[in-house]
Amino acid sequence: MAQAQGLGKRYLKAFFKGFFVAVPVTVTFLDRVACVARVEGASMQPSLNPGGRQVSDVVLLNHWSIRNYEVQRGDIVSLVSPRNPEQKIIKRVIALEGDIIKTIGYKNKYVRVPHGHIWVEGDHHGHSLDSNVFGPVSLGLLHARATHILWPPERWQKLQPMLPPERTPLHTNED
């Protein structure tokens, strides 16, 4: 009986030791390196959720790749909503700081993206709350870059940066 109690204590001690190491490591990984997220809504159709409400895409969000706020035109990014800080949204980067963009329904027809900001839009313009509604977005609101579709299995793929030809900036910093 005493032997069984000693074995139980050792087992519990080993479990808690592992638990108190694993939890902080996991939390740090999910916060700083990568996590997965389910994409809801139609704003990124047809790139994400092409089937509508039938099946939501699940994407890998890479936090590490944007740690220095390095994004490029065409990247799909997750960011804190400028309208509701409790909500994360997923959009495509259309323009970078210094670029001049022709807007779709924004209060100004043309906008020069200010320093420290980006212009983001959903791929499905009629169903997206994006920079055409709230304007340029601060780089500080960036959360992660979507790099892969993980679910459903038949849609598994790496997400490549792609800028729709009709949405290229009129003038870029590189010009």
| Non-local CB neighbours of 30 within 8 Å, separated by 6+ positions | none
Of 47, 78, 91, 131, the active-site residue reads 91
Of 9, 13, 17, 43, the active-site residue reads 43
Q: How many CA atoms lie within 13 A of 104 on its CB side?
A: 18
Active site residue 138: no
Q: How far is CA 165 from CA 54, 56, 86, 94, in A?
A: 29, 26, 33, 10
Supply φ then ψ for residue 151, to 5 degrees: -145, 140
Active site residue 88: no
Where in the sequence numbering do the catalytic residues fall?
43, 91
